[in-house]
Structure 1
Amino acid sequence: MKKILIVLILTISSLSFSQEGKFKLVLDAGHGGKDPGANKNGCVEKEIALDVVLQIGELLKNYSDFDVKYTRTTDVFIPLRDRAKIANDFGANLFVSIHCNSSVSPNPSGSMTLVMGLSRSNMNFEIAKTENAVIFQEDDYKKNYKGFDPNNPSTQIGLKILQEETLLQSIEFASEIQNQFKNTLTRKDLGMHQQPLWVLDATVMPGVLIELGFLSNYKESKYLNSKEGRQNFAQVIALAILKYKNQLLGTETPLFEPKVLTPIIIEETKPEIVPIVDTVKTIPLDVQPQVDDQKKYRVQIGYSTTKLDLVPANFKGLLNVTMKQEGNAYKYFYGNASSAEECKKLLAEAKTKGFNTAFMVEDKE
Structure 2
Amino acid sequence: MGSRLFQNSCKTIKKKYSWSIFSVAIIVLIFVSLASVSPKKPFLYKIRTVVIDPGHGGQDPGTIHPTKKIQEKDIVLPVALELGATIKKYLPEVNVIYTRTTDTFVELYKRAEIANRSNADVFISLHCNAMDIKKDKKRAEVKGLEVFVMGPHANQENLEVAKRENAVILLEDNYKKNYGGFDPNSPQAHIIMTSIQNNYLENSLHLATLIDKQFSERLHRPTRGIKQAGFVVLRRVACTSILVELGYVTNDEEVEYMTDTWNQTLMASAIYRAFRDFKNEVEK
TM-score bin, normalised by smaller chain: 0.7 to 0.9
1:48 equivalent in alignment to 2:75: yes
2:108 alignment counterpart: 80
Question: Residues of 1 paired with 2:84 and 2:145: CA distance?
Answer: 20
Matches within 5 A, 1:101-250: 101-105=129-133, 106-250=140-284
Q: Which secondary structure state, in structure 2, belongs to the residue aligned with residue 61 of structure 1?
A: helix
Question: Residues of 2 paired with 1:16 and 1:243: CA distance?
Answer: 15
Question: Residues of 1 paired with 2:281 and 2:54: CA distance?
Answer: 25
Q: What TM-score, normalized to structure 2? A: 0.80
Q: Which secondary structure state, in structure 2, belongs to the residue aligned with residue 85 of structure 1?
A: helix
Question: Residues of 2 paired with 1:117 and 1:160: CA distance?
Answer: 5
Q: Say whether the 8 Å CA contact 1:111–1:213 is kept in structure 2.
A: yes
Question: Residues of 2 paired with 1:23 and 1:244: CA distance?
Answer: 13
Give how far 1:48 is off: 0.8
User: Per the alignment, do residues 163 and 112 of structure 1 end up closer, same or farther by CA in structure 2, a change over 3 Å counting?
Assistant: closer
Matches within 5 A, 1:332-347: none
Give how far 1:43 is off: 1.7
1:317 alignment counterpart: none
Q: Which secondary structure state, in structure 2, belongs to the residue aligned with residue 159 of structure 1?
A: helix
Q: Which secondary structure state, in structure 2, belongs to the residue aligned with residue 98 of structure 1?
A: strand
Q: Percent identity?
A: 39
1:65 equivalent in alignment to 2:99: no
Question: Residues of 2 paired with 1:228 and 1:26: CA distance?
Answer: 23
Gaps of 5+ in 2: 1-42, 134-139
Question: Residues of 1 paired with 2:212 and 2:275: CA distance?
Answer: 12
Q: What TM-score, normalized to structure 1? A: 0.62
Q: Say whether the 8 Å CA contact 1:162–1:204 is kept in structure 2.
A: no
1:33 equivalent in alignment to 2:38: no
Question: Residues of 2 paired with 1:87 and 1:112: CA distance?
Answer: 22
For these two proteins, the number of residue pairs brought into alignment is 233
1:95 equivalent in alignment to 2:123: yes
Give how far 1:25 is off: 0.4
Give how far 1:64 is off: 2.2
Letter of the structure 1 residue corresponding to residue 80 of structure 2 = V
Deviations 1:82-138 (A, max 9, x none): 000000000001000000011123121110100000114111111100110101000
Letter of the structure 2 residue corresponding to residue 97 of structure 1 = S
Gaps of 5+ in 1: 1-13, 251-365
Question: Residues of 1 paired with 2:165 and 2:201: CA distance?
Answer: 19
Give how far 1:189 is off: 1.3
Give how far 1:73 is off: 0.4
Q: Which secondary structure state, in structure 1, belongs to the residue aligned with residue 56 of structure 2?
A: coil
Give 4+ residue runs of structure 1 displaced > 3 Å after superposition: none
Q: Say whether the 8 Å CA contact 1:223–1:229 is kept in structure 2.
A: yes
Question: Residues of 2 paired with 1:49 and 1:214: CA distance?
Answer: 12
Partner of residue 24 from structure 1, selected from 49, 74, 97: 49
Give how far 1:164 is off: 2.3
Deviations 1:201-247 (A, max 9, x none): 11010100000000100111100111122111001001110000000
Question: Residues of 2 paired with 1:228 and 1:182: CA distance?
Answer: 17
Question: Residues of 1 paired with 2:256 and 2:218: CA distance?
Answer: 19
Q: Which secondary structure state, in structure 2, belongs to the residue aligned with residue 161 of structure 1?
A: helix
Matches within 5 A, 1:322-333: none
Question: Residues of 2 paired with 1:93 and 1:161: CA distance?
Answer: 19
Letter of the structure 2 residue corresponding to residue 57 of structure 1 = G
State the Cα RMSD in Å.
1.2
Deviations 1:34-62 (A, max 9, x none): 10101103321111111000000110111
Letter of the structure 2 residue corresponding to residue 211 of structure 1 = E
Question: Residues of 1 paired with 2:248 and 2:54: CA distance?
Answer: 16
Larger Cα Rg: Structure 1 or Structure 2? 2
Greater relative contact order (CA < 8 Å, ≥ 6 in sequence): 2
Q: Hey, which of these two has a bigger chunk of helix by percent?
A: 2
Question: Residues of 1 paired with 2:207 and 2:194: CA distance?
Answer: 21
Question: Residues of 2 paired with 1:120 and 1:235: CA distance?
Answer: 30
Question: Residues of 1 paired with 2:248 and 2:92: CA distance?
Answer: 35
1:273 alignment counterpart: none
Q: Which secondary structure state, in structure 1, belongs to the residue aligned with residue 246 of structure 2?
A: strand
Q: Which secondary structure state, in structure 2, belongs to the residue aligned with residue 147 of structure 1?
A: coil
